[in-house]
Amino acid sequence: MRRSTVSTLTAAFLLALAGGSRGNGDTGSTDIPPLDTDTGQPPRYGVLIYTGHGGVGSEGLEGSMAHQESSAWLEGAGLTVSHTSTWPASFDSYRMVILAAPGTYDGSAEFVPEERAELLGVMNAGGTVVVEAEPGSLLNDDVLNALVWDLGGSMYTTGEALDGPAAPWGEHELTANVTSVGLDLSTEVERGDETCVLEADDQCVAVAAGAGAGWLVLIGDGNLLSDVSRWSDGGHDNARFLSNLAQLY
């Protein structure tokens, strides 16, 4: 990506975060690293929040997980957000795809091979695919786990409910400058051969796997990314975690 574009995106993202708060009371902290780097890949400015395949739409789930705030924050960073239940005709513009808990409302809504191939294409181009989950009583884990495995990950959800907040498991790009992450209720995520990045009650709630030139991330609670200002008001670093996700490309 051109350096002038990087500077513009970074400044916009810092402005969007200026009203946020860090854990430990560091209100309005703006020590965010650049949103993007010169990767040699064609620039991608798009983020897809996909709610089809039985996923959670803009109406939210039990009053939450509507992704309106995460969309606004990402747009404040200079990215273009598409929040839709319609499968795109092309994925060429997307740096990140967020799948909003597929299988929640339709336990038979499996991804066909052509769809899985397009998600793999995003990661092979250096992008990130984020799969959001929910506790087992709310979601068909079979649909979600089959997708994760088909995309090359070995992690999976167990359905066991865990309460937050979450904390970094260890050092990782996703947890840079992250101390505490708010959760409503998360499913446990078994990491398989992958890297646990967030834990609650000594159990993983977010796992990341290198996939192609990019990343596959499985998150046990869709509210982690959705309700940004609520978590910031509570002193958590969900906004910073979201910014770290956006700059993995």
Q: How many domains does the chain have?
A: 1
pTM (whole model) above 0.75? yes
**Per-residue three-class SS string for 87-108:** CCCCCCCEEEEEECCCCCCCCC
Query: What is each CA distance from 111 to 63, 90, 147, 206, in whole angstroms?
Result: 27, 16, 7, 22
Does a structural domain hold residue 86? yes
Helix (H, G, I), strand (E, B) or coil at 62: coil
Dihedral of alpha carbons 214, 219, 224, 225, sign: positive
Q: Give the pLDDT score at 151.
A: 96
Does a structural domain hold residue 54? yes
Q: Give the pLDDT score at 242.
A: 93
Question: Would you write out the chain's pLDDT as a tens digit for each of its 249 residues?
Answer: 322 333 344 444 444 443 333 333 333 332 333 444 455 556 788 999 999 988 887 766 665 677 888 888 888 888 899 999 999 999 999 999 999 988 887 777 889 999 999 999 999 999 999 999 988 766 778 888 999 999 999 999 998 999 989 999 989 999 999 999 999 889 999 999 999 999 999 999 999 999 888 999 999 998 899 878 788 888 999 999 999 998 887
Does a structural domain hold residue 24? no
Q: Give the pLDDT score at 37.
A: 45
Cα gap 248→219, rounded to integer Å: 16
Dihedral of alpha carbons 107, 222, 162, 119, sign: positive
Which ranges in 77-215 belong to alpha helices (H)? 113-124, 141-150
112: tokens are 């066909």
Q: Give the pLDDT score at 136.
A: 73
57: tokens are 């739409």
> How many Cβ atoms are within 10 Å of 202's Cβ, its own excluded?
7
Does a structural domain hold residue 25? no
Does a structural domain hold residue 80? yes
Q: Give the pLDDT score at 178.
A: 95
Boundaries of domain holding 160? 43-246
Which ranges in the chain belong to alpha helices (H)? 3-17, 68-76, 113-124, 141-150, 223-226, 228-233, 238-246
Does a structural domain hold residue 178? yes
Q: CATH number of the domain that 206 lies in?
A: 3.40.50.880
Alpha-carbon dihedral 241, 128, 144, 201, rounded to 10 degrees: -30
List of residues 6+ apart from 83 with CB closer than 8 A = 49, 51, 58, 67, 71
Torsions phi, psi for 149 (to 5 deg) = -65, -40
Does a structural domain hold residue 4? no
